[in-house]
Amino acid sequence: MTRKDSLTLELHLARLEELLVPPEVSPLDGRFEDRSGVERVLDRLRAQNTRRLSAIQSRLLLDEMPDGETKRRIDAALADLGRYQDERHGEQLTAIRKDGIRALGKGLLFMLACMIVSAIAGQTTILPDLIRNLVSEGFVIAGWVALWHPMELLLYEWWPVSRDRKLYSLIAGMSYTIEPALKSEV
């Protein structure tokens, strides 16, 4: 039974280590997967609405059953991966914010300069009305275009990083069961 805020996934792996390490591709043996189990889980989660998701349960179907020590090491590695990714994504979010604020400062200065030039061009009488309006409005548009990138950074760029940070946190706390794979499964 699964709760509304949890998700159950099923993965077929040759060995438990493939949860963290990409498997060896062997087309002649029918093995084409080149992503680790964690990468596969991330891809599945990214394709879903995970805003309210608070837990992941995974059913791991293994060709080769692990010993207790391997399972303990994998559990520790998943927790370490969660901590590492949390720190990494936190640094990325900080860098995005700093870049956004820096770009916003430059963009606002450029916008101010464009507005001044636009006002001057709008007041000049040496240019015909059509040219004067074209120059004046052109500088206003250029000023707004200069603010595009800072706004993109501050409003949108951080979303995927923040989402992945949450997803890695879910993976770090993921509970899983191990079952032997049936030989007919692929």
Res. 36: pLDDT tops 80: yes
The pLDDT tens digits of the residues spanning 10-34 come to 999 988 899 999 999 989 988 899 9
pLDDT at 6: 83
Res. 149: pLDDT tops 90: yes
pLDDT at 186: 45
181 against 113, higher pLDDT: 113
Instruction: Please give the model's pTM, rounded to 2 decimal places.
Output: 0.76
5 — pLDDT class (breaks 50, 70, 90):
confident
Res. 115: pLDDT tops 90: yes
Res. 129: pLDDT tops 50: yes
Res. 125: pLDDT tops 80: yes
pLDDT at 184: 53
> What is the C-alpha to C-alpha distance for residues 150 and 156, in angstroms, rounded to an integer?
10
